[in-house]
Structure 1
Amino acid sequence: MNAETNLIQIVGEDLCKQLVNRKLAFDAIQDVFSAMARGGARNFPVIREGLGHAGAVYGFKSGFDAEGLVLGVKSGGYWPGNADRGLTNHQSTVILFDPDTGQPSALVGGNYLTAIRTAASSAVSIAHLARTDAKVLGMVGAGHQSAYQLRAAAEQRDFEKVVAWNPHPEMLPKLAAVAQDIGLDFESVSQRELGAQADVIITITSAFEPLLMRDWIKPGTHLACMGTDTKGKMEVDPELVASAQVFTDEVAQSVTIGEAQHAVTSGALDPDAITPIGAVINGDHPGRTEIDQITLFDGTGVGLQDLAVASVAARLASEAGLAGTVRL
């Protein structure tokens, strides 16, 4: 047999759902954020372009975790018309490579993993930055990823209630059902009322305008802004970003395509004031320093997150003998 021929694992969406739970995703994301802050893992520049077809945005995220020996790329994007076809708007696939040889080692479905790793990212920020006495969780957005966000966040604090707002209110009953399933009261509220009640707020939309204003947010709130991952997008008032203690997955993305981009461009926020969440995880930054401080996590979504959860899925599938294989 040709020495160049290698066996590639195929780990499909259903298998990813079977193998990778919220705890595994949380641990994988926390570990890779920690490695990034130590310099042991790095993301490569993101490619993200409009196709000029089907309204889609398509791109590549990649990187190398030298500590975990994980190398790969996620290819995918956003097709806004997919919901009408019964498909998820976000579509992606992860390819993992052997870092010693460069040969492909696994092809992993990325749709479920994208949702669970994004939820894990905000959950990590809540675990390290939210007040320990937080009781009310605010949800801005009720799309596909919101249920994952709600379930992951609810495991980080003893929440008693969820307050939610969505630009399309007819979507809120699905989120209410998730809250009911995990034993939390649910209330549909205005944006201003959400800010007045919530101790922790997750924004998970595709907005290009502020949905929450600075004056609506009460002291001591933690925000996890998870929807802004493209130049021009915006979920919260730039004045709110500038007034908060800002943390992020990666500063380079935060200031260019993340929620901080607008505050940085206007000069209201110094990029040097943005802290990688990994520094808090590693104990190199205290995180929240005052009870009334507003903290904000700018979750831009980095390739290393996708590679981290995909590598967990591939490893578990291999150990259980469940992965399909193909020779290339």
Structure 2
Amino acid sequence: MLIVPEREIAELMTREAAFDAVEKVFAAMAAGDAYNFPVVREAIGHEDALYGFKGGFDRAGLTLGLKAGGYWPNNLEKRGLINHQSTVFLFDPDTGKAIAMVGGNLLTALRTAAASSVSIRHLARKDAKVIGMVGAGHQAKFQLRAALEQRDFEKVIGWNRHPEMLKNLEDIAAEAGLPFEAVELDGMRQADVIVTITSSFAPILMKDHVSPGTHIACMGTDTKGKQEVDAQLLAGARVFTDEIAQSVTIGESQHAIAAGLIAETDIAQLGAVINGTDPGRSSDDQITLFDGTGVGLQDLAVAAAVVELAAEKGVATEVEL
């Protein structure tokens, strides 16, 4: 079995490689060539942590495995560690033998950012100029860097419950040579693309905060009860997702469905747009919304790419089980 430690990931996985891996696996899912296993995600009753497993099998890429980990909200303050902790395990689909263990923290950040950027590439208006960020934590920096590569954006705007954290977004905008403006939530009306990346359990972005033609990537809701946007937004939008089964149970769609505002059949897979079997955006005035719940196959795709590169560069450690 090959072990690729967390410290090696930054030198092995680029945003471009993560984008390509995630785009391909979304397409494979929509084509029926890859599927995710049911998610296990539980509060463990210790350190307020959420722990779980996400896994799946990609027949096209012959990638089988799982990611184990979760969210430890006290890590940063108590230990100087990031709050999200995870490890990816890959198995040989022919024999079931474990073939790799890969540090999953940076990979999770990169694949999550890649998912929203894939949605922007395929669903946002071509003339999008202003990108809005709701949330300014650790993951928001990855989201913004990846998103800025998808359109010729001219301005970044941002809102966060704790305004002092907006410096994170301002710094990324400065890297790209773009102006940054801190706004109230109603200021999001000037955005052509909005990325929400919070851990909220109550809606933040409301229907009247969003203008016609906006693309919204909702990336923070991945657990039953979480919610970032007004359910009415989904009722007035064309809704896409990574995995429909997760969207209706742990994603933003759970609330709109519970309120009777949309049905499961109203939700489309982003992979179908990538494959060309769904037209995607139908007009410049249409609001499109990507419900990014985070699927195990994303983790496996980026981890498999990392293992291949690590083996080539000789930075993986081989052990016998």
TM over 0.5: yes
* Alignment-derived partner of residue 145 in structure 2: 151
Query: Hey, what's the Cα distance between the residues in 2 that align with 1:217 and 1:267?
Result: 21
- Segments of structure 2 that go 5 or more residues without pairing to the other structure are none
* Alignment-derived partner of residue 126 in structure 1: 120
How many residue pairs end up in the alignment? 320
Q: 1:200-239 to 2 correspondence within 5 Å?
A: 200-239=193-232
Secondary structure of the structure 1 residue equivalent to 2:169: helix
- Segments of structure 1 that go 5 or more residues without pairing to the other structure are 1-7
Alignment-mate amino acid for residue 68 of structure 1: G
Aligned-residue offset at 1:109: 0.3
Alignment-mate amino acid for residue 43 of structure 1: N
Aligned-residue offset at 1:14: 2.1
* Alignment-derived partner of residue 188 in structure 1: 182
* Alignment-derived partner of residue 237 in structure 2: 244
Secondary structure of the structure 1 residue equivalent to 2:319: strand
Please tell me whether the aligned partners of residues 197 and 220 of structure 2 are also in contact (alpha carbons under 8 angstroms). Answer: yes
State the TM-score, normalizing by the size of structure 2: 0.99
- Alignment of 1:309 with 2:299, yes or no, is no
Please tell me whether the aligned partners of residues 89 and 102 of structure 2 are also in contact (alpha carbons under 8 angstroms). Answer: yes
Aligned-residue offset at 1:170: 1.1
Match of 1:179 among 170, 173, 176: 173
Query: Hey, what's the Cα distance between the residues in 1 that align with 2:235 and 2:224?
Result: 18
Q: Deviations over 1:68-106 (max 9, x none)?
A: 000001000000001112111000000000111101000
C-alpha RMSD over aligned residues: 0.6
Alignment-mate amino acid for residue 102 of structure 1: G
Alignment-mate amino acid for residue 12 of structure 1: P
* Alignment-derived partner of residue 289 in structure 1: 282
* Alignment-derived partner of residue 93 in structure 1: 87
Query: Hey, what's the Cα distance between the residues in 2 that align with 1:258 and 1:310?
Result: 24
Percent identical across equivalent pairs?
A: 64
* Alignment-derived partner of residue 161 in structure 1: 155
Match of 1:81 among 74, 77, 89: 74
Q: Deviations over 1:225-276 (max 9, x none)?
A: 0000000000000000111000000000000000110001111101101000
Query: Hey, what's the Cα distance between the residues in 2 that align with 1:190 and 1:215?
Result: 13
* Alignment-derived partner of residue 51 in structure 1: 44
Moved beyond 3 Å, runs of 4+: none
* Alignment-derived partner of residue 110 in structure 2: 116
Secondary structure of the structure 2 residue equivalent to 1:255: helix
* Alignment-derived partner of residue 135 in structure 1: 129
Match of 2:164 among 161, 170, 184: 170
Query: Hey, what's the Cα distance between the residues in 1 that align with 2:7 and 2:217?
Result: 28
Query: Hey, what's the Cα distance between the residues in 1 that align with 2:176 and 2:273?
Result: 29
Query: Hey, what's the Cα distance between the residues in 2 that align with 1:128 and 1:203?
Result: 18
Secondary structure of the structure 2 residue equivalent to 1:252: helix
- Alignment of 1:63 with 2:56, yes or no, is yes
Please tell me whether the aligned partners of residues 124 and 193 of structure 2 are also in contact (alpha carbons under 8 angstroms). Answer: yes
Q: Deviations over 1:3-25 (max 9, x none)?
A: xxxxx111111211111100000
* Alignment-derived partner of residue 3 in structure 1: none
Please tell me whether the aligned partners of residues 137 and 168 of structure 2 are also in contact (alpha carbons under 8 angstroms). Answer: no
Query: Hey, what's the Cα distance between the residues in 2 that align with 1:52 and 1:203?
Result: 28
Alignment-mate amino acid for residue 205 of structure 1: T
Secondary structure of the structure 1 residue equivalent to 2:96: coil
Alignment-mate amino acid for residue 105 of structure 1: I
Secondary structure of the structure 2 residue equivalent to 1:211: strand
Query: Hey, what's the Cα distance between the residues in 1 that align with 2:205 and 2:35?
Result: 32
